[in-house]
Amino acid sequence: MKRIVFCLFLFCAVSSAGDDYAAIVNSVSGDVKSLKKNASEWARVVNGDGFSIGDIIKTFTDGSCEIYLIDGTIFEVGPNSLLKIDELHGEDSYLKRAIFDLEMGELLSEIEKGLDYRVRTPQAVCAVRGTRFAVKAGEESRVAVFDGKVGVRHYDKSGKLAKRAQIVKKMQEARVSLYAKPRLSKKLSEDMRSSCERMAKHQLRRRELRKKIIKERKALLKAREKRILDAGEKQKKDLIRERRERKAPARRTK
């Protein structure tokens, strides 16, 4: 709990400054490294690390990591993956949009309602608002939905996204080859079923984690608002005192 409070304090500090939002590492397994924007060397990822726009996360054969966002969204970067944070955008201390580039590997996501969440692969773009799904990127992209719906749009030969999205519903899977329309299957493949079971295994724990994130976030945002009001009140009093001093007649010296 203390680690969540500290990490969310960083969230509030970042958002109040009007800078990028952050993605916070909740747990790490195996070999996971990151390359921060403008950094020249890869660094080992540990619990509590924060990532923002332009940062890259790389997992190896035995590596994976669980990451959460300020709104309670939780996602897992699977083994042999390369993920770049392309956009984290919010308004009034609330996260509104998150876009990730999955160059290769696996991304399992549990998205909070209201967040515009997108995953881009070399072959397609997946767009969702509140759902549980998995994306795997390689020679082709594969998208499996475990709850809710996901819209999948492919790239055409000119590099433009298709105007219409293929809707993938609960317990369906889509495959997308380069410059080809998504191929929909109404059954999950064996490895996607395993991913679904893995997410279900952690669902209760993540639900509790999400509650803690939201609870502490609300408390910290309230505290930040109070600090802003207090600072404004102090500034107002200082201004009144300054005006009075200016109006006060200067004392004559004998």
pTM of the model: 0.81
Question: Could you give the number of structural domains in the chain?
Answer: 1
Identify whether 241 is part of a domain.
no
Identify whether 174 is part of a domain.
yes
Identify whether 239 is part of a domain.
no
In 3-state terms, what secondary structure has residue 254?
coil
Question: 193 lies in which domain range?
Answer: 2-218
Give the residue ranges of the chain where pLDDT is below 50: 2, 5-6, 9, 13-20
Q: Give residue 129's pLDDT.
A: 82
Q: How many CB atoms lie within 10 A of CB 104?
A: 15
Q: Give residue 18's pLDDT.
A: 38
Identify whether 246 is part of a domain.
no
Q: Give residue 128's pLDDT.
A: 92
Instruction: Report pLDDT digits (tens) over 221-241.
Output: 677 677 667 777 777 777 777
- The CATH code of the domain that includes 53 is 2.60.120.1440
Please state, in angstroms and rounded to a whole number, the distance separating the CA atoms of residues 152 and 150: 6
Identify whether 248 is part of a domain.
no
Identify whether 235 is part of a domain.
no
Across the chain, mean pLDDT equals 87
